[in-house]
Chains A and B, each alone.
Chain A
């Protein structure tokens, strides 16, 4: 019963985070803070699914780490790309 309550609550949290993202998309002012918020929301949603839906929280450390790192790296890239677009563009010209 405890596990059922936890899974139900996490699903509800994921839904709320998604609706918050939609609100930001429609009403939020584009800018640094909204980008950081979206990156954090993505990291949180990814971590919930990896840890609790995929049940990697108590699984083998290699699998757990690989999947968790994914949801640190992508949100970090979102922020880095927002902060330093010109520098990255300069470094990636053929």
Chain B
């Protein structure tokens, strides 16, 4: 009996979800936004790769050693990697390092036995091919081993150590993949979150909820709506990732080389968790309005943690080592969906910490869903002026009172009229 009731519960919920998918999926707005996002992704991957193939010549300093043979090594490495090179003899290691720091030089080969760069990237450490410093390291290493053999005989061989002047960190391509993930999570959660809030606001303001809630419970309407919209969000995300990987592979972008499976998996996990955490909050915010035009105001507080984590993510992408503050954001459920993929991609947290953060977000999601469902259930049928959150929660007694305080802490409280 109970299972039959549950099946019906799910069936009606699925009917609600199906409507969301069909109505939105075939709307022009969905088609246009999908195409635009895919074009942006494709361009974002392809353009840097195409520009890189016309990269300006790299300036390689040489210090010590026989100038003729080291020049030969550098030129051969340039030929192997398809990079134009300009050889700059430097008087001393100190001068060469100074030039390296100031950006006048890109790589320095010291005595034909050591390769120095400004910063060693993790992905392109040594022997992995592709970048000029590692090619120089390869070729020079081989030359050192076999003496004056023609450098063109270089195949897989012994590489010299590559030394960085500053601490090693995640490669730029890895970071950019992280940035891509964060932009994806941020855009999808905000865009679909506001669609949820708009949809709820529409149903409430034109009173169709009265007709619908005469036959289904508020929770069914809520779950059906966020599930249906969530399916669309995930479909769009999957298309964007496929475009990213497909176009990246086609143009040989270094971004894709940096797209370690770990970043993609963690990005996907936090996208799903982030959506799950925020979808009900957006629905609850939407249920407070009495006119659809008020939706923008009530969802702003819900978006603040996302905006904060997103804006600060650039400081992590372009710096070496995240601040403690940002690491804390990586573990708070409202900010973790955006912050954690960045931290992981930048190599600032290991995978197990990302897993802990995911569990925290999941727990936070359960709490948020219950609180939001309560708010939604109480305010969706309250007409007249905009419903005040405190009013809605006050009716629930002390347990909800605590939740209300936490909600305020999460920034969900909407501003006074």
Q: Please determine whether chains A and B interact with each other in the same assembly.
A: no
